[in-house]
């Protein structure tokens, strides 16, 4: 199993550009989520999904969209990038069973100029 994969690993955008961060998992996990990591703030939840066709907002959803058309994929879209979205983004997945840990992807470092 590849686990949770994310592409790209690094990205530089200009203010106002849009892009999609890709996330895929091959473990048949129902739950998937996106976090952003900023210095001194830990990881904060952006959006999450409990299965195909179902998404919901986390703690910091503004400026981001998600969709979940398949169990495997959970892309994160930046609609109009802003410098405040400069961050490291992590995708995570887990089975829908109590107690289970979340498995994290390797992260994407995004810089918005």
Partner 1 sequence: AQTVTQSQPEMSVQEAETVTLSCTYDTSESDYYLFWYKQPPSRQMILVIRQEAYKQQNATENRFSVNFQKAAKSFSLKISDSQLGDAAMYFCAYRSAYDYKLSFGAGTTVTVRA
DSSP string, 18-79: -EEEEEEESS--SEEEEEEEETTTEEEEEEEEEETTEEEE-SS-TTEEE--SSSSB--EEES
Q: Does 10 bind partner 1 (CB under 8 A)?
A: no
Q: Does 51 bind partner 1 (CB under 8 A)?
A: no
Q: Does 26 bind partner 1 (CB under 8 A)?
A: no
Stretch that binds partner 1, among 16-24, 64-72, 78-86, 103-111 (CB under 8 A): 103-111
Q: Does 86 bind partner 1 (CB under 8 A)?
A: no
Q: Does 42 bind partner 1 (CB under 8 A)?
A: yes
CB 2 within 8 A of CB 105: no
Nearest to 6 by CA among 74, 54, 53: 74
Interface residue list for partner 1 (CB under 8 A): 31, 33, 35, 40-45, 48, 50, 58-59, 88, 90, 92, 94, 96, 98-99, 101-102, 104, 106-107, 109
């Amino acid at each position: 199993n590849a686990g949770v994969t994310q592409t790209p690993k690094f990205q530089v955008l200009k203010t106002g550009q849009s892009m999609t961060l890709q996330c895929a998992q091959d473990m048949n996990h129902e739950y998937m989520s996106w976090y952003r990591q900023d210095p001194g703030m830990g990881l904060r939840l952006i959006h999450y999904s409990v299965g195909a066709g179902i998404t919901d907002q986390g703690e910091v959803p503004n400026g981001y969209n998600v969709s979940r058309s398949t169990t495997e994929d959970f892309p994160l879209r930046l609609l109009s990038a802003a410098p405040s979205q400069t961050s490291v983004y992590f995708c995570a997945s887990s089975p829908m069973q109590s107690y289970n840990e979340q498995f994290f992807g390797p992260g994407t470092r995004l810089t918005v100029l």
